[in-house]
Amino acid sequence: MDLSTHLSQGAAPIIAILRGITPAESPAIGAALIDAGISIIEVPLNSPEPLGSIAQLQREFGAHALIGAGTVLSAQQVEAVADVGGRLIVSPNVNVEVIARTAALGLEPIPGFLTATEALVAIAAGAAHLKLFPAPSLGSGHIKALRDVLPRQTEIWAVGGMGAHNLTEWLHLGARGVGVGGSLYKPGDSTATVSQRACALIGCWRDHCRR
């Protein structure tokens, strides 16, 4: 299942970024997220044993969640993620080789960009979902200006400083969704803490949908 299909089936447009998680923590934290309603999960590759965590999450939740890797910088890393069952490939930059290899393996690329030039390069390489990162750096008007010039079907995800305090704002500005890291999970956080934060995010999203 690709990301657009997953979203069309009602999934919350929230990517949980679990930077620093370990394989031992992954099942409990993953369950807390899934139970709250967050079913898109990214494990950055600069986490301890990231492929082990991705494999664990995929085994436990892959039937009804999209699991993948973040901070993916090379085609070799894409292949390693694919080997353990990951479906999403999130990068901090636009790397045409990474996007092409991701698409060739049937996975979903989400490259990071800041400018319209970078976005158009990523789109030409085959990316339909793009990560605006760091989203707040050029102000709220930046995403509106981008939406005016990018192809209508392009989906922009706001990442960097996202949380329950500003999720609704970014969705209103035209983001398809958000990636949430430290305000959702930090290494050492309890399952209860992550569950509480995830429920708050889902509550904000549902409030936005009701407007």
For the annotated catalytic residues, the residue numbers are 42, 131
The candidate with the shortest Cα–Cα distance to 85, out of 109, 112, 56, is 56
114-148 per-residue burial string, b: 16 or more CB within 10 A, e: under 16: beeebbbbbbebebbbbbbbebbeeeeebbeebee
DSSP 128-186: SEEEETTGGGG-THHHHHHHHHS-TT-EEEEESS-STTTHHHHHHHT-SEEEE-TTT--
**Single-letter amino acid code for the residue at 102:** T
